Amino acid sequence: MRAALAAFFALCFIAAPAAAQTGLTGADAVFAALDAQDHAQARALAEPLAAKGDARAQVALGRIYERGLGVRPDIGMALEHYSAAAAAGDADAQLALGRIAYEGGVYPDYERAAGWFRLASAGGDARADVELGRMFADGRGVRRDPVAAAHHFAKAAAKNNGDGLFFLGLAFLRGDGVPLNLPNAEKYFAAAAAQGHAEAAFHLALMHDGTALGRANPAEAARLMRIAAEGGYAPAYAAMGLIVHRGDAEGTAADWFERGAKAGDAQAALLYAVALSKGDGRPKDIAGAAEIARRLALAAETPAPIRAQAGRLQQTLARQISGPITLRE
């Protein structure tokens, strides 16, 4: 009998929605259901709460309709719910409206985006400060103002926001809006990299690879560049391959070049073509290398210097091939 009761209660627990399992109520239960990817339950819980004016439930419904979570995407419904929450002062909703206005498809509205980000920033949202900082740095929707950009990055960094730490480090590295200060750049890059920020790890690796910090530290540069590459920052693949190629880290350089090429990084693709042409870490494949170079040379999105190098490489390899170069499937 005791075993049967235990099995019954276990079954009830397994069958219960995620929110019920956690004992959460209100909007907390809505977001627990979203986190558990129980979108139907999240919507069912959010709708009556939103009807009573619960701003967080409105944000949840905005997210459901914006991303098409269990429903057909409906930007109009998303805006309706986000706007109701934003009017109640919800920073998450204000941030969402700012991002929608900024991305805006064919017709982004940068000024409207800046307005929403300002409201979210005033509410203490560090993510909004990052967005505002980027807008001031780029001069989109606002007059370009590096000092204001650095100010907003610093506000976000003070709240230990990874992007804020990274962009503040970049400002110190470039002397953009703040005095050039390499030790400060290192400090903020390191703090961001400790949170897994791949681009911060990349820039910090470059600092250790050269003499920006007084002396080169190849081992630390290799460690950080690996973090950046494993974190998916595409330019890090080529850099990591070069570190391996010169003997400062174990592995095969061509592996990193190939991964970067597959990630769409033109520099890595060019280096992979060179490796194939020489049989360096891969079986020698002149035709394959020439085809990669040809595609890079023709692609409009390839940066001009790499396009020129790829064109020269393709011509050099073409002379080594008997017959015309054909497309490889």
Mean pLDDT on 77-82:
94
The Cα–Cα gap between 165 and 22 comes to: 34
pTM assigned to the model = 0.83
Check: CB of residue 110 under 8 Å from CB of residue 102. Answer: yes
Residue boundaries of the structural domains of the chain: 196-251, 266-323
pLDDT at residue 327 tops 70? no
Angle between helix axes 235-245 and 198-209 (nearest 10 degrees) is 30
What is the structure's pLDDT at 171?
98
Check: CB of residue 82 under 8 Å from CB of residue 64. Answer: no
Check: CB of residue 104 under 8 Å from CB of residue 111. Answer: no
What is the structure's pLDDT at 26?
84
The string of pLDDT tens digits covering residues 119-128 is: 999 999 999 9
Residue 51 Cα distances to 54, 61, 74, 84, 315, angstroms: 7, 11, 18, 11, 67
Q: Residue 145 half-sphere exposure, CB side, CA atoms within 13 Å?
A: 12
The Cα–Cα gap between 219 and 322 comes to: 44
The Cα–Cα gap between 84 and 74 comes to: 16
Check: CB of residue 65 under 8 Å from CB of residue 88. Answer: no
Q: pLDDT category, 104, cuts 50, 70, 90?
A: confident
What is the structure's pLDDT at 210?
84
- Give, in degrees to the nearest 5, the angle at Cα 280 between 279 and 281: 105
Mean pLDDT on 251-274:
96
The Cα–Cα gap between 116 and 141 comes to: 11
* pLDDT, the chain, mean: 90
The string of pLDDT tens digits covering residues 126-147 is: 999 999 999 999 999 999 999 9
User: 326 or 160: which carries more pLDDT confidence?
Assistant: 160
Measuring CA to CA, which residue among 248, 223, 218 is closest to residue 236?
223
Task: Please list, in sequence order, all residues whose beta carbon lies within 8 angstroms of the beta carbon of residue 126, skipping any fewer than 6 positions away.
Answer: 155, 156, 159, 161, 164
% the chain with pLDDT above 70: 90
